[in-house]
Amino acid sequence: MAKPGKKINYAKQQRRQMKQAQSEVTIAGSSPAPDSSNDTLSLQLHALDTWFFRESRPHDAAGASELSSLFPPPIRTLAGALRSFLGEQLEVDWNHLPSDFAAALGGADDLGPLQLHGPWIVHNGQRLYPAPLYLMQKEKDIQRLSPGKPVHCDLGKVRLPELAPGFKGYKTLEQAWLTAKGLEKCLAGETPDSQDIIKSDQLFSHEARLGIARNNLTRNVIEGKLYQTRHLRLHEDLQDGVHLALDVKNLPPELRTKISATQSAILRLGGEGRMASVTVNKLTQTCPELKVHQIKAEPVKRILIHFITPADFNGLPFPAEFKIEQDNGQTIWQGQLNGIALSIEAAVIGKAHREGGWDMQKHQPRPVKSYIPAGSAWFCRLDEHTDWQTLSLALNGQCIGVDTAFGRGQILLGVWQDTLNTSGI
């Protein structure tokens, strides 16, 4: 991270980024061939300068003096960049797209056979994951929220997450990510070490920009059309810097082979046409997963579902097919996920994550939607004791909700030791 007041040599930084991107291609090309059953490729995206991924508010929103940037960027932004990258590799004529292009790579609202996962922030070669919102921090001490006794609220009589008695002055972790090691500890019911928590100021800095609207015919400034944006500059003075990764599955074999041999490419990414270098890696880092030997008691009755990407349940906090039930006077949400019958007894859900964007094909803004933010978690009770391997195969790493092809609602499975219910029922 650059020290305050230190001047940044942008030319030197750009040369270093390009050199790093080229070295990653060499590493990827020299790696052993992946298992033939694994058809997933990982695209690595490096910023050549600043990036800007506009928040959901429009530039002319009331009271909007400056628009900030989302990070990581919305998945639809990266999906559009991916299709542009693949189209360039195929040398397609964008004015006359071949009929098999959409069939193989989908469109803006339907990815066809493609499956995306991510985007992932990569910090010093390690993938980072959103910190669960049940984590609370006071200086270097980390504590977990746990469901307390049922209380009456606008949702009914529900168990609201709370800190253990005696702990005060703790704050939620906002704009924070965990290393895979730190997230594994959360899945196991433990707390991560402070060094496993990565804050936003360790990943990027903000740069204010002032822009104007111009009449392209007269080349004059349009009066009153000033705007301010806040760009992101990813830190590149670390050992391996910061970049993004996007996993892509189910590419046609011919195209997968073609882009695997691609050394590097440059494309426009996000608002204001900022530049990014793209390299392709045949091997991907897998998400953290608890193994059977890490489970203290088998089979299990209670699980903790972690969301590592934003989820869409059509504006609801839970899937629409889940029914509100009363269990001994307590409100629960009952249903099935991938064949596993369970009840949601409590949840930690952050403020709505909102995304909009621009439809380049229709030349109009996309509707703004609200999503369950990454880092949210559900405390669930299974209808019956189930072995961990069955649960892991059915749920861990799967996507639930709407737009799962875009990687929405990807979940990881953890254990929940309910301290208020030790009977195991």
Q: Per DSSP, what are the bridge partners of residue 303?
A: 380, 415
Confidence band, pLDDT 50/70/90 cuts, at residue 25: very low
Check pLDDT > 80 for residue 326: yes
Instruction: Give the contacts of 191 (CB within 8 A, at least 6 positions apart).
Output: 135, 142, 143, 144, 185
Residue type present at position 402? V
Residue with more model confidence, 294 or 5: 294
- Indicate the average pLDDT of the chain: 83
pTM reported for the whole predicted model: 0.85
Check pLDDT > 50 for residue 181: yes
Distance CA 297, CA 117 (A): 31
Residue with more model confidence, 135 or 220: 135
- Residue 136 has a pLDDT of 94
Domain spans, the chain: 10-128+202-281, 292-415
Check pLDDT > 50 for residue 246: yes
The candidate with the shortest Cα–Cα distance to 276, out of 287, 288, 268, 284, is 268
pLDDT digits (tens, 9 = 90+) for 150-171: 999 888 899 999 998 888 889 9
pLDDT digits (tens, 9 = 90+) for 335-390: 999 999 999 999 999 898 888 877 777 777 788 889 999 999 999 999 999 999 99
Of 60-64, 267-271, 353-357, 358-362, which gets the smallest average pLDDT? 60-64
Q: CA of 188: how far to CAs of 184, 197, 300, in Å? A: 6, 16, 13
Is residue 354 a contact partner of residue 53, using CB atoms and an 8 Å limit?
Answer: no
pLDDT digits (tens, 9 = 90+) for 197-212: 999 999 999 888 888 8
Q: Which CATH class is domain 292-415?
A: mainly beta
Residue type present at position 29? G
Structure token digits, residue 54: 């506009």
Q: Angle of helix 253-260 relative to helix 75-90, nearest 10 degrees? A: 90
Give percent of the chain with pLDDT exceeding 70: 86
Q: How many CA atoms lie within 13 A of 181 on its CB side?
A: 7
